[in-house]
Amino acid sequence: MMAKKSKKTLFAFLILTVTLTFGQGKTTEIGFISDNDLYTSSKYDMYYTNGLELFYRFLSKNDNPKINKKITEFRIGQYLYNPRFINEEAVEVNDRPFAGYLFAEAGRGFFYQSESVLRTDFQVGFLGPNSLGEQLQKGFHNLIGYKKVYGWENQIQNTLGLQAHVMYSKKMFPSKHNDFIDLHFQSEANLGTIFSGVSTGFMSRIGFKKLLPVYDSNMHEASVSSEIQTNIREFYFYIMPVVNYQFYDATIEGSMFSNSSPITYDLVPLRFNGEAGLKYRHNNFNMSYSFIYRGKELKGDVNDTNTGYFYGSIRMGFLLK
């Protein structure tokens, strides 16, 4: 009799252990974002040429009933900018300055029950030679046997990066709910020593599967949850046209504290930008591909050659306990 009770107790313990192990929410996510113009075309390799970010985010304590979840996030990243031509013969033909930006970021996202989103973040970093952009690009091209890069001696000079960013998104027509399409109004602003500008526009999700609420969706990186989530599927197309007014861009104009950069240009302040892509989630795995267009950014003696441009962005994330 005692042996049977012991077996039942052991069995119950194993069931409880399995339930606690596999039935917990996924409260953290790690992953990366890789941007590159080669993800859209091998012919049009120019301007914002590469970006890499590593991120770690986790669910934060929330006592506000109007907020579904709060998420804290940390990132490190590097952005690289080139003119259109990087061959030896075109060292003096620059339609955009070379520039590198290396940064660390901390942010917080507030995801409301109404499906509105407020995100804020702060960055500290370096623009210029301290960003190690030249070493990374030349080393990578050499590693993969790609063409040599010339012209980094003309890069934007060192300046300290201090940035603040805020984004707000509000769901439109909430009373007319549709499981497979929605529309959101979005605005964001950047203020700092590297970028200062504002953007506003719309974002729409069109689902191949039933859309998750924004506070659970990977659209704004809200997949982490304290609740048990089983057999989660998310797959949708999204599109986001925006109008951008750029007050300042140190990667083009140089440092606001010094005019020592050898090549700088004035901005085209008013631009049209656009983004579209596919986002997918299967349980603990997130991924997306985005096609991103940026309107013409600068003016000067390069008006005939400098144009709008596009690049691709790949994101992958993995949800953990």
pLDDT at residue 48 in the model:
94
Q: Name the more confident of 40 and 21.
A: 40
Exposed, middle or buried: residue 11 (CB in 10 Å: 0-12, 13-18, 19+)?
exposed
pTM of the model: 0.89
CA-based Rg of the chain, rounded to a whole angstrom?
23
Instruction: Report d(CA 118, CA 261) in Å as an integer.
Output: 36
Average pLDDT, integer, range 79-104: 90
- pLDDT(65) > 50: yes
The class level of CATH for 26-320 reads mainly beta
The 10 Å CB-count burial string (b at 16+, else e) for 251-261 is: bbbbbeeeeeb
Q: For the ranges 81-85, 193-197, 222-226, which has the lowest average pLDDT?
A: 81-85
Contacts (Cβ under 8 Å, ≥6 apart) of 113: 65, 66, 67, 68, 215
**Is the C-alpha dihedral spanning 298, 301, 306, 307 positive or negative?**
positive
Q: Average pLDDT of the chain?
A: 90
Going by C-alpha positions, the residue among 161, 168, 221, 220 that lies closest to residue 191 is 161
Are 265 and 305 in contact by the 8 Å Cβ rule? The answer is no
Q: For the ranges 7-21, 22-36, 157-171, which has the lowest average pLDDT?
A: 7-21
Tell me what percent of the residues of the chain surpass a pLDDT of 90: 74
Instruction: Report d(CA 216, CA 218) in Å as an integer.
Output: 7
pLDDT at residue 2 in the model:
45
Q: For the ranges 1-10, 113-122, 217-226, which has the lowest average pLDDT?
A: 1-10
Exposed, middle or buried: residue 240 (CB in 10 Å: 0-12, 13-18, 19+)?
buried
Domain regions of the chain by residue span: 26-320
The pLDDT-based confidence of 290 (bands split at 50, 70, 90) is: very high
pLDDT at residue 303 in the model:
61
